[in-house]
Amino acid sequence: MAKAKSIVKSFNRTNPWNGFTHLGSLIATLMFVWSLVRQYRRLLPYQLRVILEKYCQRALPFVNPYVQIRFSELCSENLMCTELYSDIESYLSYHSSTQAKRLKADLLKNSQSKLALSVDSSEEIADEFQGIKLWWACGKTMSSTGSPSLHNKTRYYRLTFHKQHRDLIIGPYLSHVMKEGKAIKVRNRQRKLYTNNGPFWKHVVFEHPANFETLALEAKQKKEILEDLITFSQAEEYYAKIGRAWKRGYLLYGPPGTGKSTMIAAMANLLNYDIYDLELTSVKDNAELRKLLIETTSKSVIVIEDIDCSLDLTGKRKQTKVKQEVEVPKLPKLTRPKYLTDREPKPSQVTLSGLLNFIDGIWSACKGERLIVFTTNHVKKLDPALIRKGRMDKHIELSYCSFEAFKTLAKNYLMLDDHQLFGKIGLLMKQTKMTPAEIAEHLMPKTLPPDPQVCLNSLMQSLEAAVERARLKVGETIIKNTEITAIVEETKEENKGSTGHTGLQIQTALPLAAGEQHDKEPSTKPVVSDD
């Protein structure tokens, strides 16, 4: 019996409920102390608070032997921070699907795996490297972009590990994460179309189906562009050898509707590049333009469409001279309410010098394997410094549709390699000009099932009407030149009658060729002969 009583007493002493009771009391005490600290913290002098925090931080490693590293999505101190965050995200999305309880799912249309899983906010997963255990956690913080009305949530990943493995984690492990993350991104590559929203890029999935097989170009020009692009994409060692940044500029120019935007999409699809569509009018100044350039990635096409219309960059040198010569009287400024003035969008302060540095300056070499593409309808309006060789290395003219390009369009839209109307259409195309966009509109089927005969007849009627308009224009030009010639002859006769000799000769402008525009009215200029 005595032995049984001793067993009962020992059981009472080791009762697990007693342990929970003590733990609860300890937690309650700590919460009470913490509430007191928070309540009376502000009553302490600032210097004393700084000293306490300093020594608490020093004492923390003795209590907590773990080290934490934070990888933010946006980081102003390290320009490569965003790319590192992307590599970590790809790595964890591949390794977290079997461990994490809360995941985010994204649908990938242009990748091998149809569904991409990533760690949700406030979720923690464990990882192991060379027998060492460590933990990843995902979170969000509020960050201000500088504007009082614009606040974003910045995402981050936090890595936790024991301090005795610091060298192994910071060196080999993080290199392993970056390398594997890049490989996963290549396997699950989903190309993106970016546009700038203030100093930041926003993106959507790029799904344009354009390719060089369907482009309405002549075979010789198409082959030349293809070879140039493929050669560039495989020339990393060559560019490093000659000491040049691995980038190339393309200037696409020609009338509206000749396929400049489609050409850019075909370039991106051929090389599997992302597209950054830069809107210069929404860029505040040169510093913001440089920031946007830094945040672009490798394997990308940076596009500025209609460069002659984006900003007034082409005539600033001439305008400066005019301002120095002509003094414009200052008009009294109209006072407007401040709340209306603050709401007005400020014009962009991007200069020609800033844009030139963007294309070919030191900062343009911060990333490799990039194409910079400008498009314009009026190439002569651009400053020569903007499009010289070395900045815009290759100039590609996209002109009106040729018969060879028409056959490509007919095959794309109507699945026709030949037709009895092709001969007539070819003759009409030699007599007039029409863009690929205009021809494609006529070849687009208007009924189901599509009727090629109807589409080709529609195109022929449009071409015949264009030829007729050209003939009328030529007739009007001939009549106008005939009238001018008659007036000149009358003037000669009058001059002969008034002078009494034929020594006074008059030079007249020759009739303009058919289809050309009159830049100036024909003028007569008397020239005195030596006779």
Percent above pLDDT 70 for the chain = 69
* The pLDDT value given to residue 297: 87
Gap between the Cα atoms of 340 and 345, Å rounded: 10
Q: At what angle do helices 452-499 and 422-431 cross, to 10 degrees?
A: 30
Higher pLDDT, 95 or 448: 448
37: nearest Cα among 18, 53, 60: 53
Half-sphere exposure of residue 110, counting CA atoms within 13 Å on the CB side? 16
Say which range, 90-99, 458-467, 497-506, has the weakest mean pLDDT.
497-506
* The pLDDT value given to residue 317: 47
Q: Render pLDDT for 23-68 as a digit per residue (tens, 0 to 9).
A: 667 777 777 776 766 666 666 676 777 777 777 667 666 667 888 8
Gap between the Cα atoms of 358 and 484, Å rounded: 53
160: nearest Cα among 133, 141, 140, 139: 133
Give the type of residue at 378. Answer: H
- The mean of the pLDDT values for the chain is 78
* The pLDDT value given to residue 184: 83
| Domain spans of the chain, in order of start | 2-59, 66-141+153-190, 193-327+337-397, 403-507
pLDDT at 446 over 70: yes
Q: What is the dihedral of CA 319, 321, 326, 331, to 10 degrees?
A: 40
pLDDT at 119 over 90: no
pLDDT at 81 over 60: no
Tell me the C-alpha to C-alpha distance, in Å, between residue 148 and each of 4, 75, 145, 152, 274. 75, 20, 8, 11, 32
Q: Render pLDDT for 378-412 as a digit per residue (tens, 0 to 9).
A: 999 898 888 988 889 999 999 999 999 999 999 99
pLDDT at 503 over 90: no
Gap between the Cα atoms of 302 and 194, Å rounded: 9
- The answer to whether the CB of 444 falls within 8 A of the CB of 455 is yes
Using 50, 70 and 90 to split pLDDT, how confident is the model at 150? Answer: very low
Using 50, 70 and 90 to split pLDDT, how confident is the model at 216? Answer: very high
In the 8-state DSSP scheme, what is residue 421?
T
233: nearest Cα among 328, 343, 369: 369
Higher pLDDT, 119 or 181: 181
* The pLDDT value given to residue 248: 94
pLDDT at 304 over 90: yes
* Paired tokens of 453: 């005969």
The C-alpha angle 359, 360, 361, rounded to 5 degrees, equals: 110
Q: Render pLDDT for 236-266 as a digit per residue (tens, 0 to 9).
A: 999 999 999 999 999 999 999 999 999 999 9
204: nearest Cα among 213, 217, 196, 195: 195
Residue 228 — φ and ψ, nearest 5°?
-65, -45
pLDDT at 330 over 80: no
pLDDT at 483 over 50: yes
* Paired tokens of 420: 């009895």
| Contacts (Cβ under 8 Å, ≥6 apart) of 505 | 526, 527, 529
Say which range, 196-210, 356-370, 450-464, has the weakest mean pLDDT.
356-370
Q: What is the dihedral of CA 290, 296, 298, 301, to 10 degrees?
A: -100
Higher pLDDT, 380 or 522: 380
- The answer to whether the CB of 281 falls within 8 A of the CB of 426 is no
pLDDT at 456 over 60: yes
Give the type of residue at 40. Answer: Y
3-class SS of residue 112: coil
Higher pLDDT, 298 or 59: 298
Higher pLDDT, 357 or 524: 357
Query: Which residues sit opposite 71 in a β-bridge?
Result: 157
Highest mean pLDDT pick, 95-109, 217-231, 376-390, 482-496: 217-231
Gap between the Cα atoms of 170 and 69, Å rounded: 9
Q: Render pLDDT for 96-114 as a digit per residue (tens, 0 to 9).
A: 666 666 777 766 655 545 6
Q: Is the dihedral of CA 469, 473, 478, 480 positive or negative?
A: positive
pLDDT at 326 over 60: no
What is the CATH topology of the domain spanning 193-327+337-397?
A: Rossmann fold (3.40.50)
Q: What is the dihedral of CA 398, 404, 408, 409, to 10 degrees?
A: 70
* The pLDDT value given to residue 375: 95
SS (H, E, C) 310-327: HCCCCCHHHHHHHHHHCC
pLDDT at 487 over 60: yes
- The answer to whether the CB of 435 falls within 8 A of the CB of 255 is yes
User: DSSP readout, 218-233?
Assistant: -HHHHHHHHHHHHHHH
User: DSSP readout, 31-73?
Assistant: HHHHHHHHHHGGGS-HHHHHHHHHHHHHHHHHH--EEEEEEES
- The answer to whether the CB of 383 falls within 8 A of the CB of 319 is no
3-class SS of residue 439: helix
* The pLDDT value given to residue 322: 43
- The answer to whether the CB of 314 falls within 8 A of the CB of 308 is yes
Provide mean pLDDT across the span 347-352.
80
